[in-house]
Each structure stands twice: as C-alpha cells, then as structure tokens.
A = this chain, B = another copy of it.
Amino acid sequence: MLITLSVDLGLRSYPILIGSGLLSQAMVLEPYLKHRDVLVVTNDTVGPIYGRPLRGLLGGCRVNTISLPDGERHKTMATVNAVLDALVEGRYGRDAVVVALGGGVVGDIAGFAAAIYQRGVDFLQVPTTLLAQVDSAVGGKTGVNHAGGKNLIGAFHQPLCVLADTDTLQTLPDRELSAGLAEVVKYGLIADAAFLDWIEAHTQSLLQRDPASLRHVIRRSCELKAEIVAQDEREHGRRALLNLGHTFGHAIELHAGYGEWLHGEAVAAGTCMAAAFSQRLGAIDSAAVERIRRLFGRLKLPVDPPPVDPGKFLAAMGMDKKVVAGQIRLVLLDRIGTARISADYAPHDLADFLREQFVR
C-alpha cells in the first residue's frame, strides 16, 4: 500500500511516499532522477543494509556513494566538508542530485551539503529511521551542530521527494524506535488530541513494530508536519510549535554530549520539562503533566533530564535559535493538543524552575 502526501510550497512542492517495500520498486524514483548524476550519502550502519536496494532504484544514473561515521557527534561542518569534497572530486555539476539514505543525521548533513554546493543542488530523502520518517526528512531544515549549540549552522533546503520505506523500521534498534515515537507524541500534544489518545491506546503494538500501527503514525505525523510547513516554511510563526520540548532538549543534548542521548530521548525529557513549566505558569494542570510522563515512560523514553548545573543549562537554552532580543521563547502547552510560543514569563521563573528540576 503506497500512501502519497504532498508538501505544498508552490514551485518547491514535493511528495512524501510512504509504504512497505518501496526500496524494491525499481521505477519509484524514476521521475526525479532520470539519467542524472547521483551522490548517495549514507552511514556505516545503514549503507551495508540498504545501499544495494537503493542502487536498484538508480538505474541509468551515474552513482557514487560516500559513507559517513554513524552518530550525532559527527553532525559537524567537518563531515559536511567531506561530502563537499566528494562532490568536487566526482566533478558533479549543478544538475547533480544528492540522495540521503539514513536517519536524521545523514539527512541533515546531506541536505546541507546539497544546499551549499554550487549555491544549491537538488536532493532527495530516503529516511530509514522512525524519527527521520515522521519528522526530520520532511520540511527542508538542514544543518549541523556547533560546539556552542545544536543545529546552529544550516539552511532551509527542500528535497525533491521523501521516500519512506516502512520495512526499514524492522531493523531499527529498540532505542531508536522509541526515540522516533517521542516526535510522534509531540504532534499529538501540539496539534491533535485525538491522535494522542490513539497513541496511548497503541503503545504496545507500536513497540512491537506492528506495520499498520507504524504506518498510521508516520502518515498522521507527516500530514500534520506538511500542513504546518506549508503555512510557515521559514518558521516565522506557527512552525516553531514543532519545537515543543526542543529548547530544553537541545540543552540536554549539549550537556550530555551529542550522541550520549539520542535526539528523541532528549525531546521526551525536554517535553516533560516544558509541560512542567507550562503547569508552573498555570497553563495546564498536574494531571496533564502526569499523563505525558506516563506515556513517554510506557514508550521506554526518559522523562527527567540528566544532572546538569542549572546555570549552565540555562546558558545552553539561551543559544537556542528561538531566542529573540535576548528572550528565550518557549513552546508551552495550553492543554493536550494545543500549544503556543511564549516569552511571557519572568526570567526568574525559568531560573527558579531549573533549580528545582535539578535538585531532585
């Protein structure tokens, strides 16, 4: 069963193809790639498993492959430079297509390299993790980390197409499956309370990788993301809601060391912090906070941050991209299914909150 969604961005609109066995359908990428020069960017974990099936989809193209070391700690300018070197050495022209085969890290690096090679060449996302299929492969955010903060260097660069073969999730480590589910929960919390109910009722079938359940959450997540991105591609407004838990989460990732915590794990604990801070400001009640913590717990995700000095944690939050005029804007929950961006709190509220969080 092939599900096709569309991200509506005028001339830069593109399809998201979701289905089982897509990597065995020889013609599925034909409309995007015919006879073009392709550089496949993958990593040392995914490449050996899915590199060969992918090549079966690239008939008629000149294809080179670069394999990156796996892991968030390699999401750096140095790795982007390695991809750029491969493009130059392969003498790729402006008509090249970069294909990202892997999870969020591979997609972010490959997409950013495509964005800046010759001032922009086409790229295509073939996400193989749940997190990438429900979130990072869609919407055109690309980039890398800086020692001073997460995703500080990057570009908006939309893909030609996103191809999500749900069969790839059967080889995903349990931890990465759970990490992807953290972003799925996020969509329910910010935009669709009924979807959150559905997730709560299906935690076991999701963790057991029931194909129909996974297909449902991928589809619904991509629908919600596509709608939000189409409204606000460059995050001047509503798109920032997709960062629920991410300002707290980025500070966790920075202080735990990239790669110690998976991004989705940091988002889960960060979302619990955002929920607790929302409660402190009187936006949601303690029952909602408990409900969120319970759900993440059942999905085998952390609900508390690692021990960090509260002052350092606050400083790390201050390097988040949502800071404007020195004020940290946070995504807060008004109720399950409804969120807003707010800088409408006293600075000492956040400082006090962090001190309390980290004395546990």
Inter-subunit contact A120/B156 (CB<8 Å): yes
**Is A155 an interface position by the 8 A CB rule?**
yes
Inter-subunit contact B323/A93 (CB<8 Å): yes
Inter-subunit contact B95/A324 (CB<8 Å): yes
Encoded as 1 (CB less than 8 Å from any B CB) or 0, chain A from 76 to 95 comes to: 01000100110011010111
Name which of A88, A93, A154 has the most chain B CB atoms within 10 A of its CB: A93
Closest residue to A326 on the B side, CB-wise? Answer: B93
Interface residue count for A (Cβ, 8 Å)? 37
Our pick among B88, B119, B147, B152 for the contact of A154 (Cβ within 8 Å) is: B119
Tell me, rounded to whole Å, the shortest Cβ–Cβ distance linking A11 to chain B.
11
**Is A291 an interface position by the 8 A CB rule?**
no
Enumerate A305-321 residues with CB–CB distance to B below 8 Å.
318-319, 321
Inter-subunit contact A152/B324 (CB<8 Å): no
Inter-subunit contact B88/A119 (CB<8 Å): no
Enumerate A136-189 residues with CB–CB distance to B below 8 Å.
141, 143, 146-149, 152-156
Our pick among B94, B115, B148 for the contact of A323 (Cβ within 8 Å) is: B94
Closest residue to A36 on the B side, CB-wise? Answer: B325
Residues of chain B within 8 A of A120, CB atoms compared:
155-156, 234
Residues of chain B within 8 A of A141, CB atoms compared:
119
Residues of chain B within 8 A of A77, CB atoms compared:
77, 81
**Is A118 an interface position by the 8 A CB rule?**
yes
Residues of chain B within 8 A of A212, CB atoms compared:
none
**Is A194 an interface position by the 8 A CB rule?**
no
**Is A117 an interface position by the 8 A CB rule?**
yes
Inter-subunit contact A319/B116 (CB<8 Å): no
Inter-subunit contact A153/B325 (CB<8 Å): no
Enumerate A109-142 residues with CB–CB distance to B below 8 Å.
112, 115-120, 141
Closest residue to A147 on the B side, CB-wise? Answer: B88
Inter-subunit contact B318/A116 (CB<8 Å): no
Encoded as 1 (CB less than 8 Å from any B CB) or 0, chain A from 32 to 44 comes to: 0000000000000
CA–CA, A91 and B328, complex, Å = 12
Tell me, rounded to whole Å, the shortest Cβ–Cβ distance linking A60 to chain B.
13
Tell me, rounded to whole Å, the shortest Cβ–Cβ distance linking A91 to chain B.
7
Given A77-B77, A85-B148, list of 18 further CB < 8 A pairs? A84-B146, A85-B146, A88-B146, A88-B147, A88-B148, A88-B149, A88-B152, A93-B324, A93-B326, A94-B323, A112-B116, A116-B154, A116-B155, A118-B154, A118-B321, A119-B155, A119-B321, A155-B155
22 contacts between A and B (CB under 8 A): A77-B81, A84-B146, A85-B146, A88-B146, A88-B152, A89-B148, A91-B318, A93-B321, A93-B324, A94-B323, A94-B324, A95-B324, A95-B325, A112-B116, A116-B153, A116-B154, A116-B155, A117-B153, A118-B152, A118-B154, A119-B155, A120-B155
